[in-house]
Each structure stands twice: as C-alpha cells, then as structure tokens.
Amino acid sequence: MALTLIEKIIANHSGKKTVKPNEIVDIEIDVRAARDFGGANVVKNLLDNGLEINDASKTFFTFDCNPTASDQKYAENQHFCRKYAREKNIKIYDVNTGIGTHLVMEEGLATPGCTLVSTDSHAHILGAIGACGQGMGDQDIAAAWAAGKSWFKVPESVKLTLKGKRPGNVSAKDIVLNLLNKFGANSLLGYSVELYGEEVDKLTLDERITISSMATEMGAIIVLIPPSDDVMKYCESRSGRKLEKIVADSDAIYTNEFELNISEFVPMVSRPGHPEDSINIDEVRKTKIDSGFIGSCTNGRFEDMKVTAEILKGRKVAPGVVLKIVPATDAIWNQCLDAGYIKIFKSAGALVSNAGCAGCAAGQVGQNGPGEVTISTGNRNFAGKQGKGKVYLASPAEVAASAVAGYITTPDQIPEIPSVFKPTGQTAVSTAVGTKPASEKSTVLEGKIWIVKEDNIDTDMIFHNRYLTITNIAEMGQYTFDNMAGWEDFAKKAEKGDIVITGKNFGAGSSRQQAVDCFKSLGIQIIIAESFGAIYERNAINAAFPILTYNDISALNLQQRNRVKIDLETSILTNLETGKSVKINEFSSVQVEIYKKGGLLN
C-alpha cells in the first residue's frame, strides 16, 4: 500500500508495514523533551505514579521559555528539573542554549523521518526537515518518558503544491501568512499537510522552519516539507551519520489536494488577535506602533537576523519605539556576534537578549503592556499571548523597517523622518474570579449548559500563559476564560456540574494541560464542541476529562442555561427542558479505555 509522508514515518516507528488514516497505533519516540514550565509537571507525574525513565539517552530538558529565570516560580521549576536530571542522568539544554525545537536539529538529535514529542506546541516545526514532531501535555510526555512510546492517531494527509515563481518581496513568513489567509484556522484541522513545488524545493532550512512552525496556527497536525539535498547535508553534518531521505510514495493517496499560485502571494501581516486574520500589508500601512519584536521559533534564525541587520545598518529605531531582538539559539547569537550584527542592533537602539522563546513566553523580553501596539515576528498574536497590548504578525524585514519608520511599513518605503510617537495612556483592566471544586465522574451527566458561540477559542483565552507556573489543579479554576472577551467572569458564574457547548477548534494553540484542568477545577462535567484542537483533544482524553464532538445539534433548540443530559455510553444528548434528543459523535476506543482507567497514568 502506498503511503504519504506522515504514514511512512508512523509505520516505520510502529513496527507495521502500513498504516491508514484514523488508525490508532503505538509509535516509538526517538526524542522526548520537556521545557521549563511543563518539565516540572512532567517530573511530578512521574514521581507521583512511581514511573522510571525508559531511555535517558533519548530524554531531554530544554529551558527556553524563561532562560532569564526572571520569574521566581520558573526558577523554582527549573531547579526542580535540574535536580531530577542529575539523579536520572538526563541531558539538559539549559538557559544558555536556546529554543529546544531548534536545538534538537542543531545538535543532530532530530533527523529526517524521526519522531519527537515535547511540551512545546510548536514541536511540529520538525516538519521543516521531514520529521514528525508533536507537542503534547505533561501527562503525555510523562508517559512517553516512561514507556518510550505514545499512542497516536494516524492523521489524514493533504497535498499542497505551490505553482509559479515566488515574488522577490515575499518572505517565508509572507508565504505562511498567505496560506493562513487561504485556509484559516480550522480548514486543515487535524490534517498532515505535505508541501510541494519548484519554489518549495528552493527553500532554505531557515525558511522551511518559518513555514512549518505555523502549522498549528492553521489547525494542522504538521506541515511536512520533503528534505532537499541541502537539508540532508545539514542533518548529516549535525548528526555525524549518513541518513536516508524519506519521501512519500508517488502513488500515495491524499484526502485532498490543493494548488496555489505563489506568484500571486503578497507581503502580509496578521491583525491583532488571530494569526489567520492575515491581510495585504498595504491595508494597515502607516499604523503607528509602540514596539517591535524579532525572534521566536518562527523567525529567530540567522537568515532572519541577517535581513534585520541589513535594514538597521546605519539607521536608528524611531524615537519612543522599542525594538527587541532575540536569536533562537546561542549558536545563532554567536554567529550574529561574529558577523557584526550585534553591534548593528545595539547601534540602532535595539535591545538584544539571550537566546530563547522570548515574547511568546510570559516573563521574558518581548511582552507588551495595555494599549501597546507591537509588530512581531512571532507565530501567535492571540489576545494576551504576548502581553496585554495589540500584536501584528509580520516578517523580520517588515518588523525592522517598521521599527525605523515608527509605523507599519516595508523595507522599500522607510521614510527619511520617522513618525512621532504619542502615548495612549491606557491602563490594564484587573479581573477577580473565584474557585470551585472539581466534579466526580459518571457515565450519565446532567447539568445546565453554557453555550459559547465562538470558533477557534485558543488556550490563551481559556487559561492564559501568565498562570502556567500553577501546578495545583485546585487553584486553576478561578482563571478559566478570564482572558476571553465577554467571558471574564465565567469562573464566578459557573456552577459545579455545568456543561460547556461550543464551536470549532476549541483549545487551539498551546500544549498547556491547565487549559483542560481548569474546567475540572471548576467542576465542569464535560465540553461538547464541533471540533477540538489536536493537542487539547489529547490532553482531555489523557486526563479522563470527557469531551465529545457533534455535527448538528440544532434540533435541540438549546438556550443558555437549559438543563441537558448526555449519556457517554450511547452519545445521546437530550435537552431536558423539551425532551428532544440527538445522537452526537461517540468516544474513540482509546478515549473509552483511558476514561475507564481514570487517566493515562493510572
């Protein structure tokens, strides 16, 4: 049977000759990583369940969220992980090394065709080298560390071909923002996307990383780019061994195939709040900015630093504008030093920090304040993700040019005199919420509903990253939805036994387990949605927290705070106010098994 690229990787790691979409298999994990905020919870899960490490040589910590240890809880968690690593002989890529998903390629740990799991939701960045990386929650990672394997549902595959010639002013970031404009946040939900085309073949490794890093923003499991000869040479030099190039079979079967004309792509930015809300940069040109950020796993590579230096050389950041630059790894930082880029950055008035995730992680450089308008090279601009201000997403060239101009622009339209900054004087809004206990399990659930009529509710809206250091579930409920407009007081109003009904792609974004556990803390019994973000779905299943999906429940005529009943064994949903019932989608086999066990680690 002919196999797509993801099917071939999974088959190679499951002991099977062939696998098919939606089949659930156990796969061997080549690289098993945990970061500084998720690492402490991974260790806690291992210790609480008396589990040992399967293979320390394949197990790693990467401290990239807060390498400055500027937060006391981060420092505590990092030290906790260090002590555990010393006892178990686990390698740590500590605060002086950079972003973990980049380091595994840089260090030759991850190679084409391999499998990797990490508490980083952007682990699918390994699609840049034709490898399978997946972000997972702390229970998933603990299980992988202990067993060396993880269950995995084979995704359906989509083939995406870019035809034509790439315009000279279109960067890799522009390419992925054009794709987001086309497919949105959930059209590719749950798919493995393979990217092809003459211009795709020419992409450098750094450009491939930029594109693959934003798979989750499109809802995809991964964007896999077949490795070029240059990528193979890079991986062989880093790993120190001869590698076999992995490709899809020529007659592989795809669920869907798309062709787009790359010659029609234009420089783009994403408007604040949603990465998929990407538009031609001309639509927001000359929008006044307060700050710029260049870095993240999406655009912290050497090529990104090079184009930034070319624009900033001999220029100054506009008065009142703050530009923050953070290379992805320490090796890239040193390359910048040797090339003279650090001097250029500093002479231009930019702040340069040590390597790490920076603005995407709370507490490190790159965060913004209430009312602040930032243009960023990050991959996400969810409300509150990079601070309390507004964040536009753009390429490094556009961010650097905008920082010099004082407003959003492109390198070819930098003014001789920068825009004058006028402060807004806006202040942050404080919210206070309460705490409620967790509910007990049952196969028949009854409760009053909260109808949340919104798609693409991301994990920062559910449980903001400023609370990620909380490990006690009892403390989590009070912060549920407090970063979601119109629902900030949800935790105050929610009652034990309530049920949440929502739209598509619920739980998009981060791998944080807290976005599931906060509902358990409040006593919410179940979440019923049209679809779930891939990592969120895994986290809920593994925590034995009931989630179900539906196609159409309009016949129930549900109203806010109606009382409903859901039978988990039959998947019958009933509106107790009217007596009307519908059948929704059933639990998967793995969900039933884990639910009955009371959790993945039980």
Pairing, β 24-28 against β 149-153: antiparallel
pLDDT of amino acid 423? 54
Across 499-557, the runs of DSSP E, i.e. the strands, are 499-502, 526-529, 547-549
Q: Among 514, 171, 125, 133, which Cα is nearest to 296's?
A: 125
Helix-helix angle 302-312:330-339, to 10 degrees: 30
Residues 475 and 405 in one domain: no
Residues 497 and 387 in one domain: no
Residues 384 and 459 in one domain: no
216 and 458 Cβ atoms separated by less than 8 Å: no
Residues 285 and 251 in one domain: no
Percentages (nearest 5) of helix, strand, coil residues in the chain? 35, 20, 45
Distant-in-sequence, close-in-space partners of 11: CB < 8 Å, separation ≥ 6: 3, 17, 18, 19
pLDDT band at 431 (very low <50, low <70, confident <90, very high): very low
Domain-embedded: residue 435: no
Residues 244 and 318 in one domain: no
pLDDT of amino acid 429? 43
Domain-embedded: residue 349: yes
In sequence order, what are the beta bridge partners of 292? 323, 375
Q: Among 459, 500, 473, which Cα is nearest to 121's?
A: 459
pLDDT band at 471 (very low <50, low <70, confident <90, very high): confident
Each residue of 162-217: pLDDT tens digit?
A: 999 999 999 999 999 999 999 999 999 999 999 999 999 999 999 999 999 999 99
CATH of the domain at 467: 3.20.19.10
Domain-embedded: residue 326: yes
Domain boundary among the residues 264, 285, 305 is at: 264
DSSP string computed for 126-192: GGGGT-EEEE--HHHHHHHHHHSEEEEEPPPEEEEEEES---TT--HHHHHHHHHHHHTTTTTTT-E
User: Is residue 89 classed exposed, middle or buried when 0-12, 13-18 and 19+ CB atoms within 10 A define those classes?
Assistant: exposed
pLDDT band at 363 (very low <50, low <70, confident <90, very high): low
pLDDT of amino acid 345? 98
Residues 227 and 374 in one domain: no
Q: Among 502, 499, 462, 496, which Cα is nearest to 481's?
A: 462
pLDDT band at 66 (very low <50, low <70, confident <90, very high): confident
Q: What is the distance between the alpha carbons of residues 437 and 358, in angstroms, rounded to a whole number? A: 34
Domain boundary among the residues 216, 243, 264 is at: 264
Residue percentage of the chain with pLDDT more than 90: 87
pLDDT band at 422 (very low <50, low <70, confident <90, very high): low
Question: Does 481 score more than 70 pLDDT?
Answer: yes
292 and 405 Cβ atoms separated by less than 8 Å: no
The least confident of 65-79, 118-132, 384-398 is 65-79
Residues 572 and 534 in one domain: yes
Residues 83 and 186 in one domain: yes
Cβ atoms within 10 Å, residue 503: 16
Residues 458 and 392 in one domain: no
State the pTM of this model.
0.86
Residue 107 zone, left/alpha/beta (φ > 0; ψ -120 to 50; rest)? alpha
First to last CA, the chain: 37
Residue percentage of the chain with pLDDT more than 70: 96
pLDDT band at 383 (very low <50, low <70, confident <90, very high): confident
135 and 121 Cβ atoms separated by less than 8 Å: yes
Domain-embedded: residue 517: yes
- The 444-452 sheet, strands edge to edge: 547-549, 526-529, 499-502, 444-452, 563-567, 572-575, 581-583
Each residue of 486-543: pLDDT tens digit?
A: 999 999 999 999 999 999 999 999 899 999 999 999 999 999 999 999 999 999 999 9
Q: Which amino acid is at 452?
A: V
In sequence order, what are the beta bridge partners of 188? none
Each residue of 24-53: pLDDT tens digit?
A: 999 999 999 999 878 999 999 999 999 999
pLDDT of amino acid 425? 65
The least confident of 3-17, 269-283, 375-389, 573-587 is 375-389
371 and 428 Cβ atoms separated by less than 8 Å: no
CATH of the domain at 21: 3.30.499.10
pLDDT band at 433 (very low <50, low <70, confident <90, very high): very low
Q: What is the 3-state secondary structure (H, E, C) of 338-364?
A: HHCHHHHHHHHCCEECCCCCHHHCCCC
Question: What φ, ψ does residue 599 adopt, rounded to 5°?
Answer: 140, 155
Q: Name the token pair of 519.
A: 């509902």
pLDDT of amino acid 281? 98
Residue-averaged pLDDT of the chain: 93
Residues 184 and 322 in one domain: no
Residues 105 and 186 in one domain: yes
Domain-embedded: residue 432: no
> Which residue in the block uniquely carries the two structure tokens 């992995």?
246
pLDDT band at 73 (very low <50, low <70, confident <90, very high): confident
More confident residue, 337 or 36: 337
Domain boundary among the residues 239, 264, 289 is at: 264
pLDDT of amino acid 468? 84
Taking residues 288-304, report their average pLDDT. Answer: 96
Q: Which amino acid is at 142?
A: A
Q: Name the token pair of 151.
A: 């269950």
Question: Does 477 score more than 50 pLDDT?
Answer: yes
Taking residues 228-246, report their average pLDDT. Answer: 97
Each residue of 247-281: pLDDT tens digit?
A: 999 999 999 999 999 999 999 999 999 999 999 99
Domain span at residue 59?
5-264
Question: Does 589 score more than 90 pLDDT?
Answer: no
How many Å is the Cα radius of gyration of the chain? 23
| CB environment 126-155: b (16+ within 10 A), e (fewer) | bbbbbbbbbbbbbbbbbbbbbebbbbbbbb
Number of structural domains in the chain:
3
pLDDT of amino acid 437? 34
Domain-embedded: residue 50: yes
pLDDT of amino acid 51? 97
Domain-embedded: residue 422: no
Q: Among 475, 464, 580, 462, which Cα is nearest to 529's?
A: 462
Domain-embedded: residue 434: no
Residues 80 and 229 in one domain: yes
How far does CA 200 lie from the centroid of its chain?
23
